């Protein structure tokens, strides 16, 4: 606990400063704000240029910033940008499809992440729902990703498997001769409300966007695309907007703890309210292998 008190009068100044031996990192930002709002306060306490307290105050926020930058640099190469396209029909033949991306209309965008070195991509089912239900061959899916050298490449993606009940899907891109970086899969077991988490995705088409927040709640229930309920969802205040769907929610160690899926919005506003949800990674780990091997979830096979 940190207690800072100031009583200033024309005759005397009395300052009480009580800190533990080691200041918890979560208090550093607030402590800095309290100290430097008053020049009298800061000059009275930190009279020495080499004060250990001053060095600690400067060093800790810088370490936190460097850690966050490193976290993004290590995890963002595993995140992909998914673009849904609808091909145009030939002007003289309504049954002829023009297989030209330049004539394609962008139906929507989303996010995903590289699951393994074989080119499997995990995303939300609702991100590729039109492709999954396309009966006339008009829908296409393009995935933008980076290789191990940091070079951006675009690949056509095919659906491997879907599970609308959990709003999950697996895509496959041909990465022959391309080295990619799969995500580091964590666990959602043992998550605590208040711990830091980070979302990486492509909100409104802005690629590789990082937002930060905390785990706001656990065990939430959100609707699935097929009308069922997804139980055990993670609630977070890390901003999730249109285009973030399918991207990873990661912890402070860079491990994926969830798949960003939904945000609560006020009707008509279209804006995130700070109440956002992710499918827990433990659910994903149980589901994805069946989608890769069988194309459907375990429960739908029987």
Active site positions, annotated: 126, 167, 245
Task: Let me know: does 244 contact 291? Beta carbons within 8 Å.
Answer: no
> What are phi and psi for residue 2, nearest 5 degrees?
-115, 130
- Rounded CA-CA distance 218/195 in Å is 12
Longest dimension (CA), the chain: 92
């Amino acid at each position: 606990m940190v207690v800072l008190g100031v009583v200033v009068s024309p005759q005397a100044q009395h300052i009480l400063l009580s800190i533990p031996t080691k200041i918890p990192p979560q208090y550093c930002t607030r402590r800095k704000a309290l100290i430097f709002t008053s020049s009298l306060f800061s000059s009275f306490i930190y009279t020495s240029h080499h004060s250990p307290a001053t060095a600690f105050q400067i060093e800790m926020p810088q370490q936190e910033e460097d850690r966050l930058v490193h976290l993004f640099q290590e995890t963002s190469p595993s995140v992909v940008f998914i673009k849904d396209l609808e091909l145009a029909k030939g002007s003289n033949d309504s049954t002829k499809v023009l297989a030209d991306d330049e004539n394609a209309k962008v139906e929507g965008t989303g996010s995903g992440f590289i699951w393994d070195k074989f080119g499997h991509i995990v995303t939300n089912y609702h991100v590729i729902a039109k492709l999954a239900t396309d009966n006339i061959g008009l829908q296409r899916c393009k995935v933008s990703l980076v290789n191990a050298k940091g070079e951006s490449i675009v690949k056509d993606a095919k659906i491997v498997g879907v599970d609308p009940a959990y709003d999950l899907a697996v895509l496959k891109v041909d990465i022959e001769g391309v080295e990619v970086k799969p995500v580091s899969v964590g666990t959602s077991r043992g998550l605590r409300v208040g711990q830091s988490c980070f979302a990486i995705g492509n909100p409104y088409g802005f690629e590789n966007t990082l937002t930060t927040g905390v785990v706001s709640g656990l065990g939430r229930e959100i609707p699935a695309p097929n009308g069922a309920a997804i139980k055990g969802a993670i609630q977070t205040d890390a901003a999730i907007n249109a285009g973030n769907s399918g991207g990873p929610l990661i912890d402070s160690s860079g491990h994926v703890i969830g798949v960003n899926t939904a945000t609560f919005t006020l009707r008509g506003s279209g804006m995130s309210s700070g109440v956002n949800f992710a499918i827990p990674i433990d659910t994903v780990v149980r589901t994805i292998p069946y989608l890769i091997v069988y194309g459907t979830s375990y429960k739908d096979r029987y």
